[in-house]
């Protein structure tokens, strides 16, 4: 089992960022951009972990830190940070 190193974070982040740009080009709302960024990060990180032998307690923290970095790339690609007020308003409207 290999820990998610900086090279893997860059590769996964590039894939997620590219996928995010394609999806954001579809004109999704800010709520769907936030969910899309999170889900693509989860799926891409899980695929990487699975392809390297599965989950391992000894590399859990490295994998989590890698996921957080990939999620940050996705948030930037989906413009989640710039649209955070719109995203919060959309989440509030769904909850209430």
Give 15-65 as a DSSP string.
HHHHHHHHHHTT---HHHHHHHHHHHHHHHHHHHHHHTTS--GGGHHHHHH
Tens-digit pLDDT profile for residues 37-80: 788 888 988 888 888 887 778 878 888 888 888 888 777 766 66
The ranges assigned to domains in the chain are: 11-95
Q: How confident is the model at residue 87 (pLDDT cuts 50, 70, 90)?
A: low
Direct distance between the N- and C-terminal alpha carbons of the chain, in angstroms, rounded to an integer: 44
């Amino acid at each position: 089992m290999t820990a998610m190193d900086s090279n893997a974070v860059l590769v996964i982040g590039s894939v997620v960022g590219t996928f995010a740009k394609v999806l954001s080009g579809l004109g999704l709302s800010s709520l769907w951009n936030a969910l899309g960024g999170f889900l693509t990060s989860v799926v891409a990180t899980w695929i990487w972990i699975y392809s390297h032998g599965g989950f391992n307690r000894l590399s859990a923290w490295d994998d989590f830190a890698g996921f957080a970095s990939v999620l940050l790339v996705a948030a930037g690609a989906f413009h989640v940070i710039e649209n955070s007020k719109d995203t919060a308003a959309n989440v509030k409207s769904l909850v209430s």
